[in-house]
Amino acid sequence: MILISSLATLIFAAASWEFLTMVDIVRATTLPDVDTALLGGFGVGQGAYLIKKAALPNGVG
Protein backbone atom coordinates (compact mmCIF):
# COMPACT_ATOMS: atom_id res chain seq x y z
CA MET A 1 0.00 0.00 0.00
CA ILE A 2 2.90 2.34 0.72
CA LEU A 3 4.34 1.66 -2.73
CA ILE A 4 1.03 2.36 -4.48
CA SER A 5 0.48 5.52 -2.41
CA SER A 6 3.98 6.78 -3.21
CA LEU A 7 3.53 6.00 -6.91
CA ALA A 8 0.16 7.78 -6.98
CA THR A 9 1.65 10.83 -5.25
CA LEU A 10 4.58 11.03 -7.67
CA ILE A 11 2.39 10.63 -10.76
CA PHE A 12 -0.13 13.20 -9.54
CA ALA A 13 2.63 15.67 -8.62
CA ALA A 14 4.28 15.26 -12.03
CA ALA A 15 0.97 15.67 -13.87
CA SER A 16 0.10 18.71 -11.77
CA TRP A 17 3.52 20.30 -12.35
CA GLU A 18 3.27 19.77 -16.11
CA PHE A 19 -0.29 21.09 -16.18
CA LEU A 20 0.47 24.16 -14.08
CA THR A 21 3.48 25.16 -16.18
CA MET A 22 1.29 25.42 -19.29
CA VAL A 23 -1.63 27.34 -17.75
CA ASP A 24 -2.19 31.09 -17.64
CA ILE A 25 -2.29 32.50 -14.11
CA VAL A 26 -5.21 34.80 -14.94
CA ARG A 27 -7.72 32.03 -15.61
CA ALA A 28 -9.50 29.75 -13.15
CA THR A 29 -7.99 26.26 -13.31
CA THR A 30 -8.49 22.86 -11.76
CA LEU A 31 -5.93 20.17 -11.02
CA PRO A 32 -5.87 17.04 -13.21
CA ASP A 33 -7.78 13.96 -12.14
CA VAL A 34 -6.05 10.95 -10.59
CA ASP A 35 -5.66 8.12 -13.10
CA THR A 36 -8.29 5.37 -12.85
CA ALA A 37 -5.59 2.66 -12.96
CA LEU A 38 -4.11 4.00 -9.72
CA LEU A 39 -7.54 4.15 -8.12
CA GLY A 40 -8.10 0.57 -9.26
CA GLY A 41 -4.83 -0.42 -7.61
CA PHE A 42 -6.06 1.03 -4.32
CA GLY A 43 -9.35 -0.85 -4.71
CA VAL A 44 -7.64 -4.18 -5.42
CA GLY A 45 -5.34 -3.77 -2.42
CA GLN A 46 -8.19 -2.91 -0.07
CA GLY A 47 -10.35 -5.71 -1.47
CA ALA A 48 -7.59 -8.26 -0.90
CA TYR A 49 -7.21 -7.03 2.67
CA LEU A 50 -10.94 -7.33 3.35
CA ILE A 51 -11.14 -10.82 1.81
CA LYS A 52 -8.19 -11.96 3.95
CA LYS A 53 -9.84 -10.55 7.08
CA ALA A 54 -13.18 -12.17 6.24
CA ALA A 55 -11.57 -15.59 5.57
CA LEU A 56 -9.65 -15.80 8.86
CA PRO A 57 -11.24 -16.51 12.25
CA ASN A 58 -11.75 -13.61 14.63
CA GLY A 59 -8.57 -12.45 16.38
CA VAL A 60 -6.21 -14.02 13.82
CA GLY A 61 -4.23 -12.02 11.25
Distance between CA atoms of residues 32 and 16, nearest Å: 6
Distance between CA atoms of residues 37 and 4, nearest Å: 11
What's this model's pTM, rounded to 2 decimal places? 0.45
CA 19 to chain centre: 18
CA 45 to chain centre: 11
Per-residue pLDDT, averaged over 25-45, amounts to 78
More confident residue, 32 or 57: 57
More confident residue, 43 or 29: 43
